[in-house]
Amino acid sequence: MDTAQARQAMVDRQVRPHDVTDLRILGALLDVPRERFLDPAHRALAYLDTEVPVSTASPRAMLKPIVFGKLLQAAGIRETDRVLDVGCATGYSAAILARLAGHVVALEEDAALAAAATANLAAAGATNVSVVTGALVAGSRQSGPYGVILLEGRSEVAPEPLCEQLAEGGRLLAVIGGAPMGKATIYTRLGPHVTALPLFDAGAPVLPGFVKPPEFVF
C-alpha cells in the first residue's frame, strides 16, 4: 500500500467533502502516518472509512476519519489552546492535536495503550504532548483547565465531570447517545454555565466508563 497516496485519498474523498475546510486540520491529517499507530494486523485498514481497531489485544478503535475531522473542525482549536484528549489509545489523535494546539494532555486508562502512545508520540516528534494514565471519566483536573476537550469515542451520558474542567470559553466535543448512532455535540463553558449544541449524526465506539447505568424497572 502506498500510504502517502492512501492518506491523500482519505482527505480528498472522506474528510474534505464533509465540510472540513480548515487547512491546518487537513495538513495534519496528511502529515501524520495513521498506520504507524496501529498494530501490524490492522495497518491495511488504516485509511478505510470505518472505525479501525488499534490492537488485537484491545477492543478500542480509532474514530472514523470523517467523524474525527468534523469534530476537530467544530472545536476551533487555536495554537494557544491546552487540549485534553480523552481516550487517546495508541496516540494518533494526540499526534494530530499536537499540530493544532499549544499543549495536549493525552489521557488513557489502559496501561498498555498508554505505553504504546508514549512510544508512538515520541517517534512522531510530538514534544508538546503529555501522556497521562487514569480513569477516562475523571479527566485530568490537575493538568487543566482546558480550552478544548475531545472524547475519542461515544458517551451514553452527558460528560458533566469533564465539562467542569473547561476553561472560560472552552469547548468539549463528543459523540453522545446510544448505539448505533449518536449525535456529535459541542459543550461550551460561559461563566458558570455550560451549553450543549447538537452538531451532526455520528457513530463511534463507546468509551470505557461512559456507559449509561441500567435503569431500575419495577
* DSSP string for 14-56: IIGGGT---HHHHHHHHHS-GGGGS-GGGGGGTTSSS-EES-T
- Weakest-pLDDT range from 51-60, 96-105, 163-172: 51-60
Read off the pLDDT band of 180 (50, 70, 90): confident
Residue with cell 502516518: 33
**pLDDT tens digit string along 89-133?**
999 999 999 999 999 999 999 999 999 999 999 999 999 999 999
Beta bridge partners of 150: 85, 173
**CATH architecture under which domain 3-202 falls:** 3-Layer(aba) Sandwich (3.40)
Distance in angstroms (rounded) separating the CA atoms of residues 152 and 175: 9
Alpha helices in the chain (DSSP H): 3-9, 23-31, 65-75, 92-98, 111-123, 160-163
Distance in angstroms (rounded) separating the CA atoms of residues 190 and 204: 28
**pLDDT tens digit string along 124-163?**
999 999 999 999 999 999 999 999 999 999 999 999 999 9
What is the dihedral sign for C-alpha 40, 173, 162, 180? negative
Distance in angstroms (rounded) separating the CA atoms of residues 102 and 125: 14
